[in-house]
Structure 1
Amino acid sequence: MDRDVEELSPSQREALNQLQAVMEGGDSDVAIEVLESVNWDVQRAANAIFENAVPTSKDRETMTTTPVSMERFEIDDSEQDGLLGHSSGGREFRRVPPTTSVTVRPLRAVIAFLSIPLRLLSSLLRFLFRILRIPFPQFAPFTWSSLSYRPLGSNLSQDRRSTDPRNVAERWVQSLEEETGAVCISRSRNRRQSTSNPVDSHGTASGADVVGSSNLTSRAGGNDSDVDVETKLLPDFFMGSYEEFVRHCETAAQIGCVVIVSEEHDDVPEFKRSTLTDPSLVKLIEDHGIVMWGGDIRDREAWSASQKLQATTYPFVAFIALQPRRTAGSGSSPAPTLTILSRHQGPSIPSASAPTAAQSLVAHLNEHLLPRVKPFLERIQAEARERARERALRAEQDRAFEESRIRDKERVERRMEEERRAEQERKRREEEAEIERQEAIRAEKKREAWEAHRMEWRRYGRSTLVVREPRPGETGRGKTIRIGLRMPDGQRAVRFFGEADSMTALYAYVDSLFIPAGLPQDTDPRSPPNGGLPDESGLAEEMERSEKSPEKWWGFKLVLAYPRKEIIWEPAKSLGDVEALKGGGQLVVEMVADSDVKGKQKQAVTSEDDDGYESEE
């Protein structure tokens, strides 16, 4: 601990601790100097620190790394007759710079001692003026009210919510509604809408909050359903910090109205009741889209705004808006800058001539400010709308181009997909065709092999199984019968058999008729193909080995022409045992469809035999 702190009395140490708590730490030497200059009055010391921007320890660390940015305003003093001291264009307003020189402590003590009678006299005069309801004269820039930043004591332990600019603005507007018995325009409109249509189709309360305006519930208005057209109205106030309000006025190219009050001034209550609730002023502000921002000087944001706008007495009203820069030369026009259009401070009574009276403000707006400022702002807003329209048009074009690109991409992808599917289908058909071709080749080879095998059996049957025709007068084979044959190709054949001849001989004879003429009989094999058994036993064994029915093995069937009756082959059965062949007959040879046996001959059934009879199907 420093030696100076150890030398302090207990009461002085307590005052030092309170001040350091307000400063969030801070340099003890600076705190001691400030306390000594105000005779160890913590309230006055805190006011002096915040007004003169005495840096705390945290501020000093920040100042070493981050440059301090000062907000600059131009002031339009064309309407400020005698309101400013020495007028000069492009004037800047900023916070009072911090004190750089260090005053010797004994001198501070002498000054503090001499100021005690003055403070007592000022307090007495203020008390008397307040009792008599006479406005206390202010001597700028040394106003006692400007030193009142925020009360000390238990409020030091409030959380961040209590110092949030939006919350502070909402509390101030709420207190304004309670004090005046009026309600903000948006709040009144929402209450009327909620009364006429309490709940919408989605089950939510109707009446959306107006951006930047007050949506607080007024406690002075009574029941919400009692709001009517005679309810006193307040303008909608911007809910946010002063810096946010200034940026909004700049980006939206709107006129801003700053209202700063101080409860230390007797003119403030009348200003709130008469000026802020005046119907003509409220309607004018609403019709021209003037953005309102207000606060009490005891709050940090309002105090900071009062320093930037150089407010000297309260109530204080200032109008700000974008205006062209005042630059010499004929080059390209510079960007507009935010300018203080006019400042009005003082009482609001009498209502016809007071600087902050509603009639004075309405007359000023209608006769001077709006005709001079509105065209420029409308041009800026029109340019902004045009830029927004161009951006929207470019965005729409980009969107249309993107949609067209996506459609083209989808069309290309769809065409590529169709080509890919077509290629797959073509390949599949080619593969199927190749498989069918291979199967056809295999089937053809199998058929050719079967035909060759059957041709061997036909020739074997012609040489072995087909018996010779009976000679005239031969009786060993029974009665001779004549059998006529109608081949599938229309040719006819006649053959004589004995009744004792087997059906195998008849079928072998018909089968031999399919042997080409280029294969003479003398070259026919005398033994069964594949070394099987001879005669009918070998034939039956071959049929069993081929796993084919007799009809499929022979490849044809014999049908009696009329009446139609099939002559079925049976081994070891003689022709005389077939009732239909007794005495001979006319037979039709019909080919049997077989997937395994496909010859060049096609199935053909004669529709008419040589005797003029039609065959039955």
Structure 2
Amino acid sequence: MADAGIDIAQLTEDQQLALQQFIAVTDQAPAAAVPLLQRCQWNVQIAIARFFDGEPATDPVAEASSSLPPPQDPRRQETLLNGFSSAPRSSSSSNRRFESAPRIVPQPESQITNQAPLLLTILFTPFSLVYSLLSKYFRFVGYLFPILPRTWTRLTAGTTAQTPRRNTSGRRPLNTRDTAARFIREFEEEYGSHELPFFENGYAQAFDLAKKELKYLMIVLVSPEHDMTTSFVRETLLAPDVVNFIKDPENKIILWAGNVQDSEAFQVSAALNCTKFPFTSLIAHTPQVSSTSMGIAIRIAGPTPPGQYIAKLQQGIQAVAEPLNRVRAQRAELQASRNLRESQNSAYERSLALDRERARQKREAEERKAREEKEALDREAAKEKEALNLAQWRKWRATSIADEPGPDVKDVVRISLRMPSGNRIVRKFAAEKPIEELYAFVECYDILQSQEPISEKVFKPDDFEHEYKFKLVSPMPREAYELSAGGSIKDRIGRSGNLIVERTEDDDDEGEIADSD
């Protein structure tokens, strides 16, 4: 292939590829294309820009060798970058300017209302009423004569074709999650089962997730009315290499797709300046622009072979990979510091809780010990007080016990008592004395037998109820003379009696407790 003395075979492989790309875009002959490429040092982007914009008066060689690219239309430059990914780039990815990616929160078409000012509403109320009456009238006439609406439609077909209409597809507006679910369901019904990890929510939610987790948001917009949609989906989007590339966790891609017949996808396509379908865009966090910005890393418009499709996606990822990895490393470092701080705080809280528990147990042990000591002191004091009261009561009761009746007293009862110590005592008691007199004698026997007289007057202790810790029992036949039964000595025992003093069980229990202590 030679033209005007130009031997293409002498060109290198990169130069031949650049020439083919330039001819495919400009449809120029090689004889005119080669000189322009030579003047631009075989930079296809600069050559195409010079072909469409005209060559300036400055030295093209110096401009081609300059590190800064000449000012160009961003849309033209983006198209060229996407169209020729294999061409050499005149600037590094760090100096590239990214178009800001908008965050879109769509509003359902059914909720879009334009309310006129109150004054205009009042002024146009008569016209509204007239319009309503005329529309009902023409609707009734059209019902009577159906040929009239069809004729009017044919006459006004050219005018209405130029007027944009909204929601002509007849698709019912849904919320963002239901719209995504409907698209995924229709996609599976049309193209069968697949492994594409579609994001099952709205664009704004996918946008926020990609920004939060520093992932790449891949936007795929399709139009069922486009002829190349089916072939693009089957041959490119569902190609195994493309599916594996999107599913690869290392690529960190969030896939969101939509049908432009839906309100949300249509608004996204308008915001991303989409002019050709099928359309793919890669959105990522651009920290080199600002700490919160999201930019468009790559655009892919129209049908694209799978290999070139993956190459362009990789090109977009590489354009923001370096600064994005730095931000990820910073966030990982911050998260590690936060986790370390939380673990330290948790360990401190556990240690503090353990110290508090130990202090509480120690305090409770000290309180329990003090309480037990106080209770022991109270018991000792109560015992001492009870012993004092008992001694005072015995002295008081000993003074009131009647003396033993003399020989001249006929009505007496002779009692033989065997004391707990084993001693036997024989004494006479007046017959009319209550049985309590006999109990009091046993209780106060040691005082009555002492030779020391009670010099001072003894009073009965206040708030003291004496309780006898023994009972009188006759051995043959065994019978206990309980004090609670009352009665006189003669009535209960008779003229004489042989009694044994037995300690009660309560007193025995206390003795066993005292012995064990």
TM-score (ref. length: structure 2) = 0.48
TM-score normalised to structure 1 length: 0.41
Higher share of residues assigned helix: 2
